[in-house]
Amino acid sequence: MTPITFWFDPISPYAYLAFERLPEALEGCSYAVSYRPVLFAGLLKHWGQLGPAEIAPKRDWTYRQALWLGHRQGTALQLPAAHPFNPLALLRLLMACGSEGMQPNRLQCERVLRYVWQGGAAVDDAARLAELSASLQPRGDQQSEPVKRALRDNTETAIAHGVFGVPTLELPGRRADDAPRIFWGADALDMVAACMRGDPWFESSWDGTAALPSAAQRRR
């Protein structure tokens, strides 16, 4: 059974799309998924990137493409009343659902992702948030330092593993001392499935890209 780490932030429509399609894409594979919430803004800050919603034309494209992808894969997706939004309350709620270092389970992640991406309502509505929290019955205090620290730890671990965006699916390397294999984006699910099914391309082409030299660098 292959362990898979699914790094995500509910702020991302692509994380929602990948989450919903994952069982279908990996049908027939033997795997176990650990769902690990991270602060997307923390990844962006570390790697020196702007988020898609911070570049005006890219923001428009992101929403259009997400709606199209949802339509194409048969996943109900409606944009929330405002986006981007501050996802910390949802991330901490997810972390509070685990206990003693555990991560949230698939059902808990599903409820939070669908809370954002179905119905078109305001994510930060206090009454809706209270209802969501009550339905999940978190084991810990969402505002406690252990819960906040657990979210920071997830984000720092993701960065240490080379995660730069969400969603990211992480598979172990071929050998115990190999770096994990990182697959970014909702459109990487088929690639993940091919890797798990033993496609020979991964033996011949995966590692070679790291050795490609750079001929120019843009000034920042």
- Look at residue 219 in the predicted model and tell me its pLDDT: 77
Per-residue confidence (pLDDT) for residue 4, from 0 to 100:
98
The pLDDT of residue 207: 86
Residue 102: inside a domain? yes
- Separation of alpha carbons 15 and 204, rounded Å: 29
Count of the separate structural domains present in the chain: 1
Q: Is residue 209 part of a domain?
A: no
The answer to the question of residue 60 being in a domain is: yes
Domain presence at residue 182: yes
pLDDT for 99: 67
Q: Answer whether residue 63 is part of any domain.
A: yes
User: Does residue 154 belong to any structural domain of this protein?
Assistant: yes
What is the per-residue pLDDT for 199? 96
Question: Does any domain span residue 219?
Answer: no
- Summarised one tens digit per residue, pLDDT across range 130-168 is 999 999 999 989 999 999 999 999 999 999 999 999 999
Domain coverage including residue 109: 2-204
In this structure, what CATH number is given to the domain that contains residue 9?
Answer: 3.40.30.10
Q: Sort 185 into a burial class: Cβ within 10 Å, 0-12 / 13-18 / 19+.
A: middle
Q: Is 214 within the bounds of a domain?
A: no
Please give the Cα distance from 29 to 188 (Å, whole number).
16
Tell me what pLDDT residue 209 has: 85
- Give pLDDT < 50 ranges for the chain: none
pLDDT (0 to 100) of residue 218: 81
pLDDT value of residue 90: 98
